[in-house]
Structure 1
Amino acid sequence: MDLPFKKKYYAQKYRPEWENIDEFKGWLKPASGDSTKAFCTFCSMEILAKLFDIKKHAQTKKHKHKLELKTGRCNKEIPFKVIAKESSSRPCDAAEGALTLFIAEHCSTLSVDHLGELCSKCFKDSKATDGLKLHRTKCTEIMKNVLTSHFRQELLDDIGNQKFSILLDESTDVSVSKHLGLVIRYYSSKQEKIVSSFLELVSIERADAKGIVEGLVACLKNYKLNINQMIGIGTDNASVMTGINNGVHAILKRDYGLQHLILIRCVCHSLQLAVTHASENSLPRTVEFLVREIYKWFSVSPKRRDEYKKIYELINCGEAPLKITKVCDTRWLSIEPAVTKILSQWEELKLHFNLARGNENCYAAELIYNMLQDNKHYSYLIFLRSVLNDVQIAIKAFEGEDSNPLKLLNTLKTLIQSVSQRILMPTRLQRNIMDPITDRDLHPRPFLGYIFETEITKHSFDPETSNAIRQRCVTFLMRLVTELQQRLPDNYKQLESMQLLSPEEAVKPVKTNDIVNLAEILGFTPEKIDKIMQQWHILHSFKWVSQEIIPFWVEVKKYKNASGDNILEDISELAIACISLPHSNAEVERLFSQMNLIKNKQRNRMSLVTLNSILCIRDSLRKSGQCCHNYVLPKSVLDKMGTMEKYSKSSKADSVAQDVPSFSQCPQPSTSSSCI
């Protein structure tokens, strides 16, 4: 008798692609040790690795309750009816707009719940409070859908179809989300100067070159900016940005046809790296160790700070001591302010640690005291203060928002000359600052600074010790000059090319044709280059008032002949495009500083849309030179203030995009939550 056929059972294994399904995102993971089961991180339970069972679990009451708690969707949406606006504008519209500007610029949207009620209560006799109803939901939606749209449209109108540069860098916020910060640098016809404006903070899944390029291109398309008008990008010195084969710059040139795209490495980052590499194996490691340990000694103990304060005030007639600053782990140059403050209170610190080593019986205090007693460390710090001060001056110049490109070139020249002339033999011939230093060029006994030489003589070191200190200092200077020459040639050439555009060169009757090379580098067409050459050679025929480079070319751009035509349009376009090239990445660093101030530990659930809106409003007010109390919103913006569809929730993704601390939404919040 034949037995009935039984269907063979195959166990279903877990599939990682299920995690990308919207319904399962955030909670579905593979079970550890069993490939036939899945694991729900919200409910902390295992499920059979079958799509039917997983969907069934997602519909259970327990899972839905956990989902609400974890994602902060505890509050149910209240359906609002869209009510037609009675008139084009209400008396309270301007008040609502001004209050929203105030909240966006100065504080959290939580404050507006009480602020709106307070205004209505205190100013009952004012027409501006008639119908004033502004709470966190409405305030947030006005930021996103009314004010941000207004400021972004103003930005796009100001940019127009002219050439621009992009500053970009990537960072993570407090919720450990990867963001690409984009700042656009262009000529503002409204303000008649080169400005750097916040463009957008783009969320990226991966921080490699392709992910960054995709985020950049998507942002430009979203703003309807022509990518072919982008003439330069400013980045830090990371290989993902500057890689020859697969960096961001290389991909943009190869895959998007931007053959004339110019890469500008941040001078500030280059100077930081130059000093860091110059200090390796040249100066004693104990110098940096001493500075760091002195900060650590006081940073964690109010008692030690109070004891030192009493000693310092006793010695200095009641004057309070300067606080020792922290040395950043990733920025070696941050040691300069700490060195300056330690040197200014060297004897007081020595006395404090002498007392502390006996009172606290602490080995760290004993070690620091012995290092302070060693005059070699004092000599090294005196030498470092002098050199690092020159580097800091250069960095501050390049970090400025309205820096003159020609003065930046002189700053770079001055820095390299200042460092190299400390160790070089004097010569009558003018030396090229980019020429390498050989042993024949070195001074047999260089003068390393007045205070340094005085201290060396004062402490009466033996010849061997004195020569060892000098040799280490000379080695540091030689390596610093070499690092500067290797890291700054591109920036130097860029700034040197701008010297052609100086007012002094432009108004000369006899000029070279080097302007052609500049036009070719920036990708101007042959027809335009021909016009540029003609206009370049007639510039001296006109009388110009401005002597500074940017106001001069703005004056040229605005020039009109008798018929009202600008016959110098092409040469002014070239000059302004060249000047608008970035010279540092400081604006993006400022953007990330603002991001961390806005989205902090208490506001870690803020959505990216809300964060972008606040950044856009703050930057627009800063750029216009106005504040929340004197910025006048146009009537077209006020007309949108009372229309429900303009500040109603537009999507489920933004339905919880409120600026609410996580601890008020969920019983068990996560500091790194990024569900909003």
Structure 2
Amino acid sequence: MDVPLKKKTVYPQKYRKEWETQEEFKMWLRPVSNDPTKAFCKFCHAEVYARIGDIKKHKETKKHKEKSDLVNKNKQLEFLPASKDNTNSLKIEGTLALFIAEHTSIQQIDHLTEALKKCISDSKSVMDIKMHRSKCSAVIKNVLAPHFKQKLLDDIDSQKYSLLLDESTDLSVSKLLGVVIRYFSSTHKKVVSSFLALQPLKTADARGIVTALVNCLEEHSLPIKKLIGIGVDNASVMTGIHNSVHTILKTEYGLPNLILVRCVCHSLQLAVSHASEHTLPRNIEFLIRETYNWFSHSPKRYEQYKDIYETINCGEKPLKILRSCDTRWLSVEETVTRILSQWEELKLLFSLHKDKCFTADQLHSMYADEKNLLYMNFLRSILNDVQIGVKTFESENANHVALLNTLMTLLRSVCTRVLMPSAATTDNDYLTIKIEAHLNPVPYLGYLFETHAQKTSLTDDVIKAVRKRCIDFTVKLAKEIQQRLPSNYIILEKMCLLSVDNTLRQGKDNRIADLAKELGFNDEAIDKLLQQWHGVNFVQWTATRDVIDFWIEVRNYKNAAGINTFQELSDLALSAMSLPHSNAEVERAFSAMNIVKNKLRNKMAVNTLNSILFIRNQLKIMKKTCYSYELPSDVISAVGKNWKYSKIDPSQPSTSVEPSPCQDDEEIPNEVFNVDF
């Protein structure tokens, strides 16, 4: 009887740290953090079994040899700490990275560095520059961007702030939440709206937006308890009564006094769109859209029109027809104005092409119809008033008194076109009056409309029908504005209590306490604030023209004992000034995003994109440029530190982290940061 042999127990080989010290393995062999039986090749981004035979077999593969040759061709550079010998070189490298971040693609640094060395070969500082694409990318993300972020956080300090929020999709179809912070800057002596981040969104619902927002604030070490207001568009996911971003922040994050400010520019755009949807004839929209489309893809057509226009106008060149776009607030006003200024020339152009093209025939018949000219003149007149309101609210530095006056002037100018003269006298009347119940039997629809109505050859019945439609548009627009803007009016009205004239007048009431309560001041602070409110007019102030300058002076005031007796009042005023009035700054951030992340840079990672946008925005706020901004000594020193490029901070405990493949066309994988400059 055969006795079976005892089966030999096989123990799996584990990774040995000693292998990393061997000459043939030390450049590329690393452990796998979650599996001790495997090893990781940094060059190939591949795992192999932690057996010496398998590791040597991997070393002889074609892929590994190609990767090794690529690395060995580049000399590994060691960056020394800043010293007297290399400080100038590091300063030049930092300035070059700042130039790249502000102006152009990171890839341009390769040629820029070599061009400098060739042109200034007699300078040791220039010849010692070691700056190529990978290092420049690391300097922007790991040195310059953190420096500017720290300056922003130091400027905000412990003040209350507001946020502007909006969603967008970038070129790579990634959903992003744009976050802009608005606060009073002690450094710049004004209220500043600063780009904060483009935060990736996993889901675009309210819960996903709030999660992304909270993560963004935590990354920037901003306490959410200091948040006093959010400026949003009119999307229901932001402003809804149930389960919106605003309600979640109020109920789940301890912000019961969080103020919601709807963007006035978005509101006016929606008001105009809804008013024109069912009141104006559809051929007006067709005329505006197809006039632009006629020229948009045909240089030949534009040259033909240019010849016609120059012949009629003695050599003067025509202005290009603009496109009406819903994503640009009230762009239809500029489009209508441009078409009206070239009405006769366009009519002649389409008359020459009407027999060859159906669209040209349709457009010619519309341009020849005097009814359409009346509609266009009416639109130009009424939209001009609305456009003034949009441009005022787009401005970052507009004070709240001016904004309130602009808002009421806009509503008043729209309503008075169709209301009886005595129907409304106060601002509140215009906000609440029922337009249909007080219609003027003979409304005045603007000088442009009335003068062209007198010159036209249309019959009285036709003019009456056109007038009826224009009145319907005006009534609908007034009702839309009344529906969308009262909340903004209430906020601006309370903030106007803090105007210089209101603050310094005698016999003030205590309505300021309501504003303080909305901004989260406790009862004790409100009691002090009211005492200061009634005593501030007894001090002789020098800055009484500008509201920001006035409250800065109040904030810096000291009595004989060196105590600021108006501390709570000035905090209230500057916090209130930080409330947003439009989302224009977020829209500008998205425009900048589309410039930076374009078709040629479509793989740019969010980290790189955020760093570039942040640096550009901070330079703009400081009114500095890449050559006029003086880099501090600690930033210059950081440019020469190895760990800024390897992303391994020596102050943190070392861990074995498995490298991840590069997904950024402007980034190089971690292991190449030290070898390809």
What's the TM-score bracket when you normalise by the shorter of the two chains?
0.7 to 0.9
Provide, for residues 409-428 of structure 1, a one-character-per-residue CA deviation record: whole Å limited to 9, x for no partner: 00001100111111112129
Match of 1:591 in 2: 589
Question: Aligned residue for 1:85?
Answer: 81
- The one-letter amino acid of 2:636's match is L
Q: Distance in 2 between matches of 1:280 and 1:321?
A: 31
* Equivalent residue for 1:386, pick from 370, 375, 381: 381
The amino acid of 2:406's aligned partner reads T
Q: Normalized against structure 2, the TM-score is what?
A: 0.84
Q: Does 1:622 align with 2:614?
A: no
- Deviations 1:217-271 (Å, cap 9, x if unpaired)? 1111111111111000111110111111110000011111110101111010000
- Residue 655 (structure 1) shift: 4.8
**Deviation at residue 499 of structure 1 after TM alignment:** 1.4
| Whole-angstrom distance in 2 between the partners of 1:642 and 1:366 | 69
Give a deviation string over 1:578-605, Cα, whole Å, max 9, x none. 1100000000000000001000110001
Q: Matches of 1:79 and 1:257 in 2, distance apart?
A: 55
Q: Deviations over 1:505-525 (max 9, x none)?
A: 111232100011111111101
User: Aligned ranges for residues 186-225 of structure 1 at < 5 Å?
Assistant: 186-225=183-222
Q: What residue number does 1:353 align with?
A: 350
**Cα separation, 1, equivalents of 2:422 and 2:282:** 35
1:98-140 C-alpha deviation (Å, 9 max, x unpaired): 1111100000011100001111111123343141111110001
Secondary structure of the structure 1 residue equivalent to 2:354: helix
Matched, 1:427 2:422: yes
Runs of 5+ unmatched residues, structure 2: 1-32, 35-57, 649-656, 669-677
Tell me the distance in 1 between the aligned counterparts of 2:269 and 2:321: 21
**Are the counterparts in 1 of residues 148 and 615 from structure 2 also a CA contact under 8 Å?**
yes
Find 1:489's aligned residue among 486, 491, 502: 486
Which position in structure 2 is the counterpart of 1:568? 566
CA distance in structure 2 between the partners assigned to 1:81 and 1:340 by the alignment: 61
- Please say if 1:139 is aligned against 2:146: no
**After the TM superposition, which parts of structure 1 deviate over 6 Å for at least 4 consecutive aligned residues?**
72-79
Secondary structure of 2:492's counterpart equals: helix
Counterparts of 1:224 and 1:186, CA distance in 2: 15
The answer to whether 1:150 aligns with 2:147 is yes
Residue in 1 aligned with 2:30? none
Secondary structure at the residue paired with 2:600?
coil
1:415 corresponding residue in structure 2? 410
Say whether 1:406 aligns with 2:404: no
Taking a change above 3 Å as real, the CA distance of residues 284 and 113 of structure 1, as seen in their structure-2 partners, is same
Give distance in 1, aligned partners of 2:521 and 2:542: 28
CA distance in 2, matches of 1:654, 1:568: 57
- Give the secondary structure class of the aligned counterpart of 1:640: helix
| TM-score, normalised relative to structure 1 | 0.85
How far the C-alpha of 1:463 sits from its partner, in A, is 2.1
Distance 1:149 1:261 in 2: 29
Q: 1:410 & 1:346 partners in 2: Cα distance?
A: 35
AA at the equivalent of 1:410? N
CA contact (8 A) 1:140 1:658 kept: no
CA contact (8 A) 1:240 1:247 kept: yes
Aligned-pair distance for 1:629?
1.0
The counterpart of 2:177, out of the listed 173, 180, 183, is: 180
In 2 relative to 1, CA 276–625 (structure 1 residues): closer, same or farther, beyond 3 Å?
same
Match of 2:102 among 99, 102, 105: 105
Q: Which residue of 1 aligns with 2:363?
A: 368
Report the Cα distance in structure 2 between the residues aligned to 1:543 and 1:174, rounded to whole angstroms: 56
Between the two proteins, what is the percent identity of the paired residues?
Answer: 52
Question: CA separation in 1, counterparts of 2:532 and 2:219?
Answer: 36
One-letter identity of the residue aligned with 1:379: L
Q: What is residue 168 of structure 2 aligned with on the other side?
A: 171
**Aligned match of 1:633 in 613, 631, 634?**
631
CA RMSD of aligned residues (A): 2.5
Is residue 329–residue 390 contact of structure 2 (8 Å, CA) maintained in 1?
A: no
CA distance in 2, matches of 1:142, 1:404: 38
Q: Which moved more, 1:300-309 or 1:648-657?
A: 648-657
**Aligned counterparts of 2:601 and 2:424: Cα–Cα separation in 1:** 61
Q: Is the 8 A contact 1:422 1:447 kept in 2?
A: yes
Partners of 2:540 and 2:79 in 1: CA distance: 61
Unmatched segments (≥5 aa) in structure 1: 1-21, 24-60, 67-71, 662-676
> What is the CA–CA distance in structure 1 between the aligned matches of 2:641 and 2:455, rounded to whole Å?
78
Asked if the contact 1:237–1:269 (Cα under 8 Å) also holds between the matched residues in 2, the reply is yes
Residue equivalent to 1:659: 666
Q: How far apart are the structure 1 equivalents of 2:318 and 2:424?
A: 48
Distance 1:176 1:419, change over 3 A: same
1:295-310 alignment runs, 5 A limit: 295-310=292-307
Q: CA separation of 1:375/1:161 partners in 2, compared to 1, >3 Å: closer, same or farther?
A: same
Counterpart secondary structure, 2:176: strand
Distance 1:252 1:79, change over 3 A: farther
Mapped to 2, the partners of 1:636 and 1:366 lie a distance apart of 69
The answer to which of 454-463 and 375-384 deviates more is 454-463
Whichever residue aligns with residue 413 of structure 2, its letter is S
1:438 to 1:615, Cα distance in 2 relative to 1, 3 A: closer
Within the alignment, does 1:266 sit opposite 2:273 as a pair?
no
Mark the CA change 1:328 to 1:429 in structure 2 (over 3 Å): closer, same or farther: closer
Corresponding letter in the other structure for 2:560: A
Give the alignment of 1:14-93 within 5 angstroms. 80=76, 83-85=79-81, 87=83, 90-93=87-90
d(CA) in 1 for partners of 2:62, 2:393:
54
Inter-partner Cα distance in structure 2 for 1:154 and 1:246: 35
Deviation at 1:464, TM superposition (A): 1.5
Cα distance in 2 for partners of 1:86, 1:289 equals: 65
Offset of residue 401 of structure 1: 1.4
Offset at 1:198? 1.0
Structure 1 window deviating more from structure 2 (125-134 vs 455-464): it is 125-134
Instruction: Find the residue that maps to 2:599 and give its secondary structure.
Output: coil
C-alpha separation between the residues in 2 aligned to 1:293 and 1:84?
Answer: 63
Hey, what does 2:457 align to over in structure 1? 460
Amino acid in the other structure paired with 2:441: P
Q: Is the 8 A contact 1:197 1:619 kept in 2?
A: yes
Deviation per residue, 1:159-178 (Å, 9 max, x gap)? 11110001111111100011
Count of aligned residue pairs for this structure pair: 596
